[in-house]
Amino acid sequence: MSLTMHLHPLASFCWKPLIAFYENGTPFAAVIVDLGDEQSRSAFLRISPTGKMPALRDDARDRTVLESTIVVEYLAAHYPGPVDLIPADIDLALAVRQADRFYDFYVQAPMQKIVGDRLRPQDKTDPFGVEEARGQLRNAYAILQQEMQSKSWATGEAFTMADCAAAPALFYANKVEPLGDKYPAVKRYHDRLLQRPSVARVIEEAQPYFKFFPYNNG
Ligand SMILES: N[C@@H](CCC(=O)N[C@@H](CS)C(=O)NCC(=O)O)C(=O)O
């Protein structure tokens, strides 16, 4: 097997390429990174010097691919399957990339801020930054509420990389800043994503680790 994903099953940015792998049934091996373990950490830093996951290693092509979006782009280019994760049409592809960026910057980033704050020592928390991040999430929800009125998936009727990005972003954002009933179109999209077999699978695989997620109990 030439493809190895270095990941953690709980890590939201790792879900994006995992969903892409499962959508197309692309075979890969998984190496679970434990940043708290010195040996695992130093081995991973040799692959991903920033320490950020996921990282993909492709031995067949002698390539290391970093950044979740670039991993999906790489799979779409070199290991395509029945699900067209990046459409061939350039305007559709740009819409997919734009939506992927939206979910990373305006949903994942504030969600990570809120989660990260709960993991800080009690005297080092940033309540102002967390409130700001909550406002950013509500703003993103309001934008998506307009966007998702008439779409099944992030950019239309086809499942793409944008949905691979949206699934972890909305799953975890809804845990830290619940969608409630104020954003029904976003909630419908969130629920549709969770029913997608590839997404249900990553959630299932994360189950043993959810106890480490600090918003498990609200
Ligand atoms: N822009 C990066 C973000 C990756 C990222 O933030 N990964 C998190 C896990 S979801 C991580 O590696 N955190 C470990 C750390 O910051 O120490 C991507 O899209 O891959």
12 lines ligand 1 (CB under 6 A): yes
CA of 160 to the centre of ligand 1 (A): 21
Closest CA to 165 of 10, 4, 55, 18: 18
Q: Please name the residue that has the structure tokens 């734009």.
A: 98
Ligand 1 atom closest to 67 (CA): 20
Identify the residue whose C-alpha is closest to ligand 1 atom 15: 52
- Ligand 1 mutation pick, 42, 53, 56, 103, max ligand atoms within 8 A of CB: 53
Give the separation between CA 144 and CA 141, rounded to whole angstroms.
Answer: 5
pLDDT 10s digits, 77-101: 999 999 999 999 999 999 999 999 9
* Strand 63-66 with 29-32, pairing: unpaired
73 lines ligand 1 (CB under 6 A): no
For the four alpha carbons of 41, 130, 68 and 205, in that order, the dihedral sign comes to positive
The answer to whether the beta carbons of residues 5 and 21 sit under 8 Å apart is yes
35 lines ligand 1 (CB under 6 A): yes
Exposure string of 44-71, with b = 16+ CB inside 10 Å and e = fewer, is: beebbeeeebbbbbbeeeeeebbbbbeb
Give the separation between CA 8 and CA 6, rounded to whole angstroms.
Answer: 7
pTM recorded for the entire structure: 0.97
Q: Which of 40-49, 179-188, 199-208, 209-218 has the lowest mean pLDDT?
A: 209-218
pLDDT 10s digits, 41-73: 999 999 999 999 999 999 999 999 999 999 999
Contacts of 77 (CB under 8 A, 6+ apart): 86
- Say yes or no to pLDDT of 3 above 80: yes
* Strand 63-66 with 55-58, pairing: antiparallel
172 lines ligand 1 (CB under 6 A): no
CA of 69 to the centre of ligand 1 (A): 12
